[in-house]
Amino acid sequence: MFRTASVGVAVSVGLLVATASAANPPFGGDDTGFVPPVKSAVAKCEAGASKAAAKLVTCIAKCHDSRAAGKLADDTAEDSCEKTLAGKSCAAKFTLAISKLSGCPACINGTTMANLAGTAEAVLDANNGTVYCEGAPNLPFGGDDNGFVPPAKSATAKCETGVSKAAVKLLTCIFKCHDGQASGKLEDATHEEECETTDDSKSCRAKFVAAVGKLQSCPACINSTSMAGLETMAESVLDGNNGSLYCAQ
């Protein structure tokens, strides 16, 4: 679902350079971004943008799932689901959600949020092949999406769609960890990292591993190595781009 974290790393470097002069404290650890004042208008806006971004990611993944299930006939229909259908696409819903926010800092604006939406789609499309991974004779998704369409209602389809749903829950969980630190529910980067990865029983990583471990009849490309890579990449990209949402310095 996610490709290299180069985009996230680039954002990370830029934000860390600015840390010394920031009024709001940085998230710290491996997370970019700045912790807003608790219960401030900025905090409310940035948390709203984060929740909208989580819904955007979930929506795009559902478009992929629908294409895999045959509910969307081709790449054109899948792109319509993601971005081109006026008023109803994932991108349109994200734009509407952002437009309803108030009290936002200058860094939350139409341009930055459109760029974020574009990055989210590009990363998910480019890494769809990590989830819908069993190749020929399965046909490729086509267009800007990597991956292959599994046979309808097959064991492979059930497994790969299960991985997709588990990955969405992983992403949503990581967003919530960021929101938790921003709101003060998680007091520092150490506790935020426990939420994401280091708590062996309750972290986002642990839940993802458990969910994938329950899947059956999976193709060989769904394995512990590929799934560990997927989880690591998901965390790295979201951490690296957290500063696009919690951006007020």
Cα–Cα distance between 237 and 29 in angstroms, integer?
14
Q: Enumerate residue ranges in the chain where pLDDT < 70.
A: 1-22
Whether the CB-CB separation of 164 and 129 falls below 8 Å is answered with no
- The domains of the chain are located at 37-244
Q: What is the pLDDT of residue 11?
A: 40
Q: What is the pLDDT of residue 22?
A: 54
Whether the CB-CB separation of 12 and 32 falls below 8 Å is answered with yes
Distance of CA 227 to the CA centre of its chain: 15
Q: What is the pLDDT of residue 6?
A: 42
| Residue 237 CB-half CA count within 13 A | 24
Q: What is the pLDDT of residue 168?
A: 97
**pTM, 2 dp:** 0.89
44-87 pLDDT tens trace? 999 999 999 999 999 999 999 999 999 999 999 999 999 999 99
Q: What is the pLDDT of residue 132?
A: 98
Q: What is the pLDDT of residue 104?
A: 98
